Structure 1
Amino acid sequence: MAATAELWARYGHRRLYVTVEEDGTKLGFYDLKTGRACNVPSARLNEFLEAITAWKTAHPDELDPVAEPPAHAPGEAPDSASPRPWKDLAQNRPGQSAAEVADAYRHAQPLRSLASRVLGTKSDERGWRVGAAGEVKTARQLAKLTNPGLFDRIAPGRWYALHSIPIGERGRDIDHLAIGPPGVFVINSKNHQELVTATDAAVFLGGRRTRYAEVAQDEAIRASRLLTAACSVQLPVTPMLSIVNAPTVVRGCPRGVIVLRVDQVAEWLASRPVRYQASTVDKLFEVCRRSTTWEQ
């Protein structure tokens, strides 16, 4: 459906309101003074940007090149200010954060760590080491989307994955972030031997209730907030749990968290309906790979 932009200028404001001609659906507005887009449904982002670009092309005399930045999609800066230095998170390895913690415990508790490895007993080092191994297995599944072989492609379009994304300043991280045509997904890997059961109420390990769903939901909410701030467009993020090694029974979707065995992750993502065009996926990845996106 074609969308058009209409100028609204009152009370010192100059905005372009975008409407779908066929059914009158409102797609939000673009502030000509600040260059920020507001109230844009993420699934309609491409229509919105096309309408803004068409209006600007048709009304060049209405633009102030100093005061009015161009419309921008995710990954494009809203102004010409020098960006802060950032680290490329695409260089992070799967399980990197957990492996670093395990290494720290191994050096701090060498005898206990060695005994744990030999006897297979529990220790802080072993817990983090096993967690890192689980993240590596999930990353291998995501590679089926991001780097498929010539005859192994299971999903159309481009996919990206980031791993061990530090968030905030308290040592927390997101295990995996998958970005593709269906949207953005945060994936938390859990590597266990005991039965994992997911119900609508919670995720259980053996007979014990865990906070896995709450933590996954919190990560998705936080990721959505940070990406929305970085892109100036509302960006939903879906939380997921990837269960490694453990027998898994799924009877519900606790707190909206998708619970899957690790070998189901890639196929499930590939089956999701398309939300974004390839150009938008590329720009989302450019935002997500910047360490500064996750530092607020």
Structure 2
Amino acid sequence: MGSSDVVVVIDASVTRWQRFGKDRLYVTAPDGSPLGWHDLATGATHYATADAALLDATVARWRAQHGHVGRSELVGVVPSPAASPEGRRTASSADGPSTPRPEPAADEDLTLRPPGQSLADRLTELDAQAASAQAPARYWWAELDELRAQDRLVRAQSPLGDLLRGLVGRRRPERQELRDLMREAKQEARRHEAAAAPTVRELAAEAVSWQRGLDGELVVGQLLAEVVRRDPRWRVLHSVPVGSRGADIDHVLVGPGGVLTLKTKHHPSARVFVANDAVLVNGTRYPYVRNARHEAQRAERLLTAAVGRRVVVEGVVVVRAQDLTVRAQPADVHVLASRRLVRWLRARPEVLAADEVDAVFAAARRASTWRA
């Protein structure tokens, strides 16, 4: 009723699966993890990982060797978007890994970005990666359901006969073949689940960290909305994309009290200690002050270039923690608890006139300002 054969091509294992009119190639990496599968009937390729180049090359080589050469193989393998440099993870800002995301249009109005936009995008990417890693197993579980449905139809044709055959341990050949296929599908589903499990666990752990950061940015976003409500002279931007490598500034604030870049840190169950540039979270040191300083300096350079005169920018680290102790403030960065943010901003001396606020914010809200 069908056949299955395995061949190793350029270090990747290729399993051809033919059942019920389907003809597919399942490709596995040298370490046993699934790369995806290719439908020989339709030419569609389904990627389980970002290593699309190996999957595409493996499928092309197999098809060429077995007389299944298509147009793409004749002109060379074209990597999918997932395999392009733009689709891979790159180094990020000093706080941790980030993923390049589509850059906003040069004239995009950044006031339309909600708090935590970049983190929400990253969580969506992680969900997609987890779903992709689990796709081969889900396919086999679906295949198992389909085989069970076919088995029920075959059994319904002769229920009494099947019952009697079952009592003596003998099934009709067509039912026996379906049972064998069901056993094979279940084994494949469990094998792919086991292969995907480490990746899924890693993605889930990473998602917890990003979700914690998103929670912090949403809280600070609400506080900044309160500041603007009380004093509309303040203007705020959230999740400002900077450069082309996926970095962003959590919040940019422009108002009578000056221009500020805010970095939010969400440690609701931790004790945080600050002494000058040293920030300790439950005893572990983090470079929050250094990163906030770098963000402020970069924003100052970009805004100064866009406005045409010097724009002074101060960095702020807003901490949401069980306990925050500030023994000594850094020389050029402010560290404060989130509960103090609204009062602290409203107490700042006025350093910018209304026309200066308008000019700086007009530049800050343009995506093109932050690309240099």
TM tier, shorter chain?
Answer: 0.5 to 0.7
| Matched length | 202
Shift in Å at residue 201 of structure 1? 3.4
1:138 aligns with 2:220: yes
Aligned-residue identity in percent: 34
Residue 23 of structure 1 corresponds to none
Which has the higher relative contact order, 1 or 2, with Cα contacts under 8 A spaced 6 or more apart?
A: 1
For residues 24-35 of structure 1, the aligned pairs below 5 Å read none
- Matches of 1:98 and 1:246 in 2, distance apart? 23
For residues 192-211 of structure 1, the aligned pairs below 5 Å read 192=267, 193-211=269-287
- Matches of 1:278 and 1:246 in 2, distance apart? 38
Residue 238 of structure 1 corresponds to 314
- Matches of 2:214 and 2:205 in 1, distance apart? 14
Cα offsets for 1:100-146 (capped at 9, x unmatched): 11121122135879x98xxxx97101111110111010011111221
1:167 aligns with 2:242: yes
CA contact (8 A) 2:303 2:369 kept: yes
Residue 208 of structure 2 corresponds to 126
CA contact (8 A) 1:176 1:187 kept: yes
- Matches of 2:248 and 2:263 in 1, distance apart? 10
Cα offsets for 1:39-60 (capped at 9, x unmatched): xxxxxxxxxxxxxxxxxxxxxx
- Matches of 1:247 and 1:108 in 2, distance apart? 36
Residue 63 of structure 1 corresponds to none
**Partner SS for 1:94:** coil
Shift in Å at residue 254 of structure 1? 2.6
Residue 233 of structure 2 corresponds to 158
Deviation larger for 277-286 or 133-142: 277-286
Shift in Å at residue 276 of structure 1? 1.1
Q: TM-score, normalised by structure 1?
A: 0.64
CA contact (8 A) 2:256 2:357 kept: yes
- Matches of 2:270 and 2:106 in 1, distance apart? 44
**Partner SS for 1:251:** strand
- Matches of 1:240 and 1:122 in 2, distance apart? 30
Residue 112 of structure 2 corresponds to 91
Residue 220 of structure 1 corresponds to 296
Residue 256 of structure 2 corresponds to 181
- Matches of 1:92 and 1:187 in 2, distance apart? 15
For residues 100-111 of structure 1, the aligned pairs below 5 Å read 100-109=121-130
- Matches of 1:85 and 1:180 in 2, distance apart? 24
The structure where helix makes up a greater share of residues is 2
After superposition, the Cα gap between the structure-2 partners of 1:294 and 1:85, relative to the gap in structure 1 and judged at 3 Å, is: closer
**Partner SS for 1:254:** coil
Cα offsets for 1:198-239 (capped at 9, x unmatched): 111311111011111111000000000001111111111110
- Matches of 1:109 and 1:292 in 2, distance apart? 33
**Partner SS for 1:195:** strand
Shift in Å at residue 252 of structure 1? 1.6
- Which aligned runs of 4 or more in structure 1 are off by greater than 6 angstroms? none
Q: What is the CA RMSD across the aligned residues, in angstroms?
A: 2.3
CA contact (8 A) 1:102 1:126 kept: no
Q: Highest CA radius of gyration, 1 or 2?
A: 2
- Matches of 1:255 and 1:128 in 2, distance apart? 29
**Partner SS for 1:90:** helix
**Partner SS for 2:350:** coil
Shift in Å at residue 87 of structure 1? 0.8
Residue 248 of structure 1 corresponds to 324
Q: TM-score, normalised by structure 2?
A: 0.51
CA contact (8 A) 1:93 1:164 kept: yes
Cα offsets for 1:120-177 (capped at 9, x unmatched): x97101111110111010011111221x2xxxx3x5x601000000000110000000
- Matches of 1:247 and 1:292 in 2, distance apart? 39
For residues 28-67 of structure 1, the aligned pairs below 5 Å read none
- Matches of 2:205 and 2:284 in 1, distance apart? 20
Q: Which runs of 5+ in 1 are unaligned?
A: 1-83
Q: Which runs of 5+ in 2 are unaligned?
A: 1-104, 135-196
